[in-house]
Amino acid sequence: MINRYIQIGQLEKAHSDLFDAAPFRDMMSWTSMITRVQLDAISWTIMISGHLRFKFDTILNNSLISMYGKCGDIDNARCIFDHMISRDRISWNSMIIGLFHHGLANEMLKVFESMQDMGI
């Protein structure tokens, strides 16, 4: 239901009526809220990442890296990426794309080379 509210542009309703009212917010709920947030809602992503009370998993971290990268907050994207215990192809690609879109070619190439060194 959270996804549906967000799809029709009712982010506040999804947040206040469903998300806040939920007795337990699982990984799917958090991921849904993060992946559907538009670029102009960077403060929402910051709020979400600041309130997480459980260990991040790869899918959630990938969503945060992608969101921060799209919103121009490369420092937070890089911080999450650097502190990940486990990275998959999406993690690497999200970081590379974020760096590319913000003209950080040298840093992007370093990340790409690190990815190759890891055999990915």
Q: 10-41, pLDDT tens digit by residue?
A: 656 665 565 556 666 667 666 666 665 554 45
pTM comes to 0.57
Q: Looking at the domain covering 2-117, what would its CATH class be?
A: mainly alpha
Sorted by where each begins, the domain ranges of the chain are 2-117
Alpha carbon distance 29, 90 (integer Å): 20
Over the range 27-49, which residues count as b (16 or more CB within 10 Å of their CB) and which as e? eebbbbbbbbbeeeebebbbebb
